[in-house]
Structure 1
Amino acid sequence: MAAERENRERAATGVTAAPRRRGRLDQPMPPRRRFLPEWDPEAFGRLSERIARFLGTGRFIVWMTIIIILWVVWNVSAPRDLRFDNYPFIFLTLMLSLQASYAAPLILLAQNRQDDRDRVNLEQDRKQNERSIADTEYLTREIAALRMGLGEVATRDWIRSELQDLVKELEERYAEGSGDGRVVFPAERSRARDVDDR
């Protein structure tokens, strides 16, 4: 009954297609059928890097030179019915072209992967440099604040010089005020205290 009513409402509004059923969002979708083979791009990239690394070694050049020399010597000096690639060496040219056509993309793929790694490393280095600069600036501000704070702290030498100035001033006042010759602060005692402080 409710389905008929929905169909009538759709027909009245001009909507004729049935609504799409939505799957549950808390469950994974079923895997789709793929017509192409699947491969792991990371594994393929690692393989291409290994091949490109091997193509760039002297060992590859030596082996390739040995194979080409053996190929040419065999196809020139072997009996006619055992030769598989006569003088213009068309098959050898085809094999070398095939090897070059595969080597170039593999080398480019390896270079692209290396560029991506370098880009990530540069970004990490840039962030590390920013953190180091921020830390250095923070430490510089802290050292400047400590220096300013230490500029206001009274040191032992400064206090000692101030006390000596006060003692001299008191001795001068006492000498002016009374003539009996008494000394308010004996010098021997203050010197002994200075030695003890050091």
Structure 2
Amino acid sequence: MTPERESGRDRTPSGATAATRHRPRLDQPRPPRRRLLPEWDPEAFARLSERIARFLGTGRFIVWMTIVIVAWVLWNIFAPRDLRWDNYPFIFLTLMLSLQASYAAPLILLAQNRQDDRDRVNLEQDRKQNERSIADTEYLTREIAALRIGLGEVATRDWIRSELQDLVKELDDRRDGHSGRDPHDSHVVFPAERPHGRDVDDR
């Protein structure tokens, strides 16, 4: 038995048919198929359409188009008959202008769709930015409110003075009660009574 047959026998298991031998393997990518239509980059085509649409919307295009039409008409009127290619009523010129319009309209629509997509993305980014700004504003508002509440509970100098005066008065009253003196004696430094609600006023 020759080496070629032995190697072929090693590659093909016994009992394998032609269908199993030509079956594609699943662990390998499939080869690319041939396409009849040409392939192009949609992004590059969209950019080209935007450039054309921008040029069509400028005064330069109108000026050049006017120059070409006037030159076309004048040449086909005053040029020698043998050199004319579009005699009156300029059917070929009408065909060219119609062809230009038929291509210009889809290109303009494609450029508008691309611009709409960009505007949609910008609006989405603006909406997210506004949401973040609103969240930050609410957070700062809550922090300011918490600071105001905290400052409302801070003891002021007048309130501490009034509390110390009450404490001294209470100590004097207790001392006078134990010593048997009159609590309304003139030796009392602080007044006997203070108006109610002083805490609120002192704060």
TM-score if structure 2 supplies the norm length?
Answer: 0.69
CA distance in 1, matches of 2:79, 2:162: 109
Task: Flag structure 1 segments of 5+ consecutive residues without an equivalent.
Answer: 8-16, 185-198
| Inter-CA distance 182–148: structure 2 relative to 1 (3 Å threshold) | closer
State the 1:125 CA deviation: 0.8
CA deviations over 1:67-114 (Å, ceiling 9, x no partner): 111111111111111111111000100110011011000000000000
| Inter-CA distance 64–180: structure 2 relative to 1 (3 Å threshold) | closer
2:118 paired with 1:109: no
State the 1:161 CA deviation: 5.0
Task: Flag structure 2 segments of 5+ consecutive residues without an equivalent.
Answer: 1-12, 177-181, 191-203
CA distance in 2, matches of 1:66, 1:117: 35
Percent identity at matched positions?
80
CA distance in 1, matches of 2:100, 2:78: 25
2:58 paired with 1:57: yes
Aligned pairs, number: 169
| Inter-CA distance 178–123: structure 2 relative to 1 (3 Å threshold) | closer
- Provide the residue aligned with 2:84 in structure 1: 83
**Could you say what the CA RMSD is over the residues aligned between the two structures, in angstroms?**
3.1
| Inter-CA distance 130–22: structure 2 relative to 1 (3 Å threshold) | farther
| Inter-CA distance 22–80: structure 2 relative to 1 (3 Å threshold) | same
SS of the residue corresponding to residue 33 of structure 1 reads coil
CA distance in 2, matches of 1:105, 1:180: 105
CA distance in 2, matches of 1:124, 1:149: 37
TM-score if structure 1 supplies the norm length?
Answer: 0.71
Q: 2:26 aligns with which of 23, 28, 48?
A: 23
- Provide the residue aligned with 2:147 in structure 1: 146
Structure in which a larger fraction of residues adopt helix = 1
